[in-house]
Each structure stands twice: as structure tokens, then as C-alpha cells.
Amino acid sequence: MRYYSLNQQSPKVSFKEATIQGQAPDKGLYFPEEIPVLPEAFFEKINEYSKEEIAYKVIAPYVGNTIPENELRRIIAETINFDFPLININGQISSLELFQGPTLAFKDVGARFMSRCLGYFVKGNDKKVTVLVATSGDTGGAVANGFYDVDGVDVVILYPSGKVSSVQELQLTTLGKNISALEINGTFDDCQQMVKQAFADSSLTTNLFLTSANSINVARWLPQQFYYLFALQQWADKNNPPVICVPSGNFGNICAGLLAHRSGMPVSHFIAACNANAIVPEFMQTGEYNPKKAVATISNAMDVGNPSNFVRVLELFHKEFNSLKNVLSSYSISDEETRRTISDVYTKYHYLLDPHGAVGYAALQKYFGAIQNSLSRVGGFILETAHPVKFYDVVETVIHQKVPVPSSIESLLHKEKHSTKMNADYTQLKDYLLSKK
């Protein structure tokens, strides 16, 4: 498998090269030259396969010969060694709980897979690798955990000051060792722009072995297909494929789901659930893409004004707007609707959503309301992307109860945050990175 830059100005590369580089030299995102199609029999007999075998069949064509089969199977086994339960909420809507991993967020799958792939690729390399990543919330903790204490790898995480939850901040600022956190006086989009500038700066990249762990990196993006297949395995009504609603910020997660669909996975429809940062919902209405400055919401991991991965979504559909609309709808959910949804679902069904899951639930309800006269039997699931405890300061004020604290978080609450404060200024970031060389 080869990968090409969506900017079309860089040479094609292998999975290994795409993983190490993160972003193409022409600043484009890498995209697979072919979309592997899995046979119908695979989906018909999906309940006969283990999670590890499903994941291997999905990812092996993308990895190609860059990692031996035994190593790839080991990486997969370590990546998905926790549960991905599909929990029924109300008979029509279920929740795919993606918070059973070490940092209680869906990002654990991509971060664990990528860290292990990169660890394999740089083994024996005499030059230290610097992983540079921007986070709007959960990416930072997942990447920090995935790369913590990995030989030959330093991790530098940029996050917007005051715009991640207190638990998210502790997860990325308390590890130490090879993990450094930069607290940026700005938005996630500022952080992301600084990271992109770093990769495009040849005077920096000739001095540092630099790679990214954002979902722009194919090794972070591609394995997110796994849990869509794990959900299908648990989906009871195989004759009626699910509607899948994905809380969406940078659009890597839903893009992975759409990729799985292109590979043959049966899905009725996809919903991109957004908060007040409604760039994609507006695009789906008008056909015009207008990035905006991100606004802060209580579903902070989705506070993105210019989603990097949406260009990949468009590429999947050959930039044909009508083809995309046939498969994808998108809704914007306000903070008020988010709070009301958390309260209603908890009161009626005794299921506790985090703010991002609540955005997904509200969007899926809107979609079902819009199609109720056209489809007699339809069901679906949301991706519950993080444990509610990560947003206890929001959730507890809504349900007027304490959120049970998992032991992994309990130990965090007594740790001291360590971060380096910095303005949204690329020159400061460059000086910092060179000082660590």
C-alpha cells in the first residue's frame, strides 16, 4: 500500500514513511492509494471472529509489508486489550462505549496503535524522535499514555489554556519523563496551526526527527476503523444496518467510520454530531466550506473551527457533494441542548452521557425525527467517546449527583500539574523545540 499527499505535490510513500513523517512535505495529509474492500462473507460471519482477527483483517492491507505479521498481531493485541461494549439505552439508540481504555477515551485505540508502530519503526535509530501533537482534550492524555517512557521518543503536547477539562489537563501534565505539556494562550486551532508550521519548517525538521500523533497521522487515523466493526459484531439486527452518530471535532473518527463503510461495512447512514462549531453542518446545507475561529463549549474536544480531516472525508467521496449527502448528515447541538440531553437520558433511562456523547444522542434524535415518516424500522448507536468523569464539573451540575470516579482518575486528582505556558506564537514553539534537541 502506498500513500499520496492530498496536496499532490509530494512523492508517494509507504505506511512506515507516512507514519514517521506524519504530514507530507507539501503540508498535505496522506491518503491511501487504494481502499481495500473486504468480502461480504467477512461481514456475514463477523460474529465468528475474535476482535484481534477483525482488526488484523482491517489494518493489514494498509500496513503492507512494513511490519511483519507476528509484530503487527502483537501491536493489535496490545492496542485493543479492553472492552468495547454496545449498550442499549432506549430500544432505538445504543451507546458504543469507547472509554474502557487506560485514559477513558476513544483516542486510546489510535494512540496505542501508533505508539507501538512508531516504536517498531525507530528501534535501533540513533536519533531521538520528537512527537509533536495538538490536543483539544482527549488526544493529549491518550498520546501521553501511549508513548510514556518509550525509549527514543520525546512527546510535546500543545493544549489551549483553560479550554480542556480539569481531568484531561491532569492526564497530559502529570506524567513527566519524556512527556512535556505546553499550555498555549489561545484556541485548539492556534495549537494545530503551530504544529502544522513546525512540520512545514525545513530549518526545524532538518535538526529534529519530528512526527505527529494527531489524527492527521495515518497510524492514528486508520485503526479507528476497528471499533466500528466491533460494534457491528454486537449489532443484533443484522438485516437492518445501524445509523451511526459520531461526535465530531477534527473529523478523524467519523472519517475512519466512513472508510470502514467504503470497505464494505453495512451502515444505513452516518451522522456527524457537532457542537456550536458548526462548520460542517453548514457545509452540508450550503455546499460552501467556511472555516471559522473556534468557540468554547462544554463539549470541548469538539471545539474545532477548521477540521483537518474533513479533506479526507471529501477525498473518500471524490469531492462529489451529492454522493457525500447520500451517506452523511450533520447537526449542530447547543450547550443548552447538551445539558438537557444529559439530564433527560439520565432521568428516563438511567444512562449517564458525557457532553460529547450527549451531542451525539441529541443529533441522532434529530435525524430520527426527520426520517420518521420515511422509514418504519430504524435504529442506531452513538459513539460515547469519553467517560463522564472526565467532565464531572459539567455533568455533576446537571444531574446534581457525584459521578463515580474510576481508580485510574482517583490517583490523578492528587497529582500536581506541570506545564510550560506559551503564547500562540510559532517562534516561541520553535525555540522551545530546538532547546530540547
**In the predicted model, what is the mean pLDDT of residues 105-110?**
92
Place of cell 449542530: 332
Is the domain spanning 84-105+221-408 CATH 3.40.50.300? The answer is no
- Structure confidence at residue 122 (pLDDT): 83
Domain assignments of the chain as residue spans, ordered by start: 84-105+221-408
- Structure confidence at residue 80 (pLDDT): 97
Whether the pLDDT of residue 57 is over 70: the answer is yes
- Spot the catalytic one: 16, 51, 107, 196: 107
Is residue 377 very low, low, confident or very high in pLDDT (cuts 50, 70, 90)?
Answer: low
Extract the C-alpha cell encoding 91.
Answer: 430500544
3-state secondary structure the chain: CCEEECCCCCCCECHHHHHHHCCCCCCCCEEECCCCCCCHHHHHCHHHCCHHHHHHHHHHHHHCCCCCHHHHHHHHHHHCCCCCCEEECCCCEEEEECCCCCCCECHHHHHHHHHHHHHHHCCCCCCCEEEEEECCCHHHHHHHHHHCCCCCEEEEEEEECCCCCHHHHHHHHCCCCCEEEEEEECCHHHHHHHHHHHHHCHHHHCCCEEEECCCCCHHHHHHHHHHHHHHHHHCCCCCCCCEEEEECCCCHHHHHHHHHHHCCCCCCEEEEEECCCCHHHHHHHHCCCCCCCCCCCCCHHHCCCCCCCHHHHHHHCCCCHHHHHHHEEEEECCHHHHHHHHHHHHHHHCCCCCHHHHHHHHHHHHHHHHHCCCCCCCCEEEEECECHHHHHHHHHHHHCCCCCCCHHHHCHHHCCCCCEEEECCHHHHHHHHHHCC
Least confident of 44-58, 191-205, 253-267: 191-205
Question: pTM above 0.95?
Answer: no
Distance CA 74, CA 77 (A): 5
**In the predicted model, what is the mean pLDDT of residues 200-227?**
90
Whether the pLDDT of residue 48 is over 70: the answer is yes
- Structure confidence at residue 374 (pLDDT): 54
- Structure confidence at residue 136 (pLDDT): 79
At 227-240, the pLDDT tens digits run 999 999 999 998 89
At 404-432, the pLDDT tens digits run 888 878 888 888 999 999 999 999 999 99
Phi and psi at residue 282, in whole multiples of 5°? -70, -40
CA quadruple 68, 74, 79, 82: dihedral sign: positive
- Structure confidence at residue 206 (pLDDT): 87
At 360-373, the pLDDT tens digits run 999 999 999 887 65
Extract the C-alpha cell encoding 134.
Answer: 495538538
Q: What angle do CA 374, 371, 356 make, to 5 degrees?
A: 155
Nearest CA among 218, 243, 170 for reference residue 2: 218
Average pLDDT, the chain: 93
402 included as an active-site residue = no
At 127-163, the pLDDT tens digits run 788 999 998 777 788 888 888 988 788 999 999 999 9
Do 181 and 173 contact (CB within 8 A), yes or no? yes
- Structure confidence at residue 411 (pLDDT): 81
Whether the pLDDT of residue 351 is over 60: the answer is yes
- Structure confidence at residue 147 (pLDDT): 87
At 60-86, the pLDDT tens digits run 999 999 999 999 999 999 999 999 999
At 236-270, the pLDDT tens digits run 998 899 999 999 999 999 999 999 999 999 999 99
Estimate to the nearest angstrom the gap between the alpha carbon of 288 and the chain centroid. Answer: 24
